[in-house]
């Protein structure tokens, strides 16, 4: 192959009880990227559509991730990248992760897949480090592996793909305000009480168990964030009102997607999903904020190849 076009999906990180370790992949929302081989060694970003982002490699998450990968695999030729951004930067649904993961996925495909999907996580994390100030994998892992993922360790990188009930659906509400991950991290406390930490560990373990056993009641009881949500929710307009609307409409749980401002709800089946989406839309309309709402199955594949030649 000389050229590949891919779909790099959006994702939800943290998932309430799993700050920096838990995430899942969405289906209908994502970027498209075209990557082709060129004679000149290195990486070149030739086109960006949809967002005003830097073309300079060291200032672009896709470029940083691609360079990290090529440092581990020196070549006599290089790659040109086109980025068609459909995930708004600062939206909280993994805009930077889609670009970083998409770049390394596409290059790996053109090279004949010398790296596994798990190997690619390490390279994509470098792009995330540029976006948020520190490398993390809770968005890039589900984008590369699909479905739900758990980051057990960052050094060395150890990520587990989790099962997911087919009936589980996600509703994403994106208020059209921008909230940078780096800024949302600045308000977090550096220390938490032992009591809150123990509660959070219990919720995370129970939620993972619920994915394996398809126990939706346990899942609902576990989608509680004792540590991050109380602070970050203050940055999101009418968060508590939206949470109440989602839960009353049948949501298993409701929380902040990544660092926000997007919020998410999980639901058991499409009937509840539509009711929750309608309830959230009605609630935010009363506030007068522009928004987008997406209904998604859990994308168990992750990045998809659109075409190649």
How far apart are alpha carbons 34 and 47 in whole angstroms? 9
Nearest Cα to 81, choosing from 100, 96, 97?
Answer: 100
Neighbouring-strand partners of residue 307: 5
CA atoms in the 13 A half-sphere facing the CB of 111: 22
Active-site residue, 126 included? no
Nearest Cα to 168, choosing from 301, 24, 277?
Answer: 24
Active-site residue, 181 included? yes
- Joined tokens for residue 189: 């406390």
Catalytic residue among 32, 67, 126, 181: 181
Contact 147, 164 (CB under 8 A): yes
Contact 199, 187 (CB under 8 A): no
Catalytic residue among 126, 128, 226, 229: 128
- Joined tokens for residue 262: 């997007």
Contact 115, 69 (CB under 8 A): yes
Enzyme catalytic residues: 128, 181
């Amino acid at each position: 192959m000389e050229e590949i076009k891919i779909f790099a999906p959006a994702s939800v990180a943290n998932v309430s009880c799993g700050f920096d370790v838990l995430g899942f992949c969405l289906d209908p929302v994502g970027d498209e990227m075209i990557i082709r081989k060129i004679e000149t060694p290195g990486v070149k970003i030739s086109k960006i559509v949809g967002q005003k982002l830097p073309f300079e490699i060291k200032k672009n998450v896709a470029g940083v991730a691609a360079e990290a990968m090529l440092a581990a695999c020196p070549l006599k030729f290089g790659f040109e990248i086109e980025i068609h951004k459909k995930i708004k930067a600062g939206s909280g649904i993994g805009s930077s992760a889609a670009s970083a993961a998409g770049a390394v996925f596409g290059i790996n495909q053109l090279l004949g897949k010398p790296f596994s999907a798990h190997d690619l996580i390490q390279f994509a994390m470098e792009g995330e480090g540029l976006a948020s100030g520190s490398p993390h994998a809770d968005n890039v892992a589900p984008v590369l592996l699909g479905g739900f993922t758990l980051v057990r360790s960052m050094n060395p990188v150890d990520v587990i793909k989790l099962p997911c009930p087919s009936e589980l659906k996600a509703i994403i509400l994106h208020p059209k305000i921008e909230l940078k991950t780096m800024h949302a991290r600045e308000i977090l406390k550096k220390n938490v009480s032992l009591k809150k930490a123990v509660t959070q560990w219990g919720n995370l373990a129970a939620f993972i168990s619920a994915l394996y056993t398809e126990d939706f009641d346990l899942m609902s009881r576990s989608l509680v964030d004792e540590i991050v949500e109380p602070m970050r929710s203050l940055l999101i307009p009418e968060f508590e009102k939206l949470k109440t609307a989602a839960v009353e409409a049948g949501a298993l749980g409701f929380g902040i997607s990544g660092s926000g401002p997007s919020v998410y709800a999980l639901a058991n089946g499409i009937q509840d999903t539509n009711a929750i989406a309608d309830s959230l839309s009605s609630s935010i309309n009363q506030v007068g904020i522009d928004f987008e709402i997406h209904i998604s199955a859990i994308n168990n594949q992750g990045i998809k190849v659109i075409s190649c030649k």
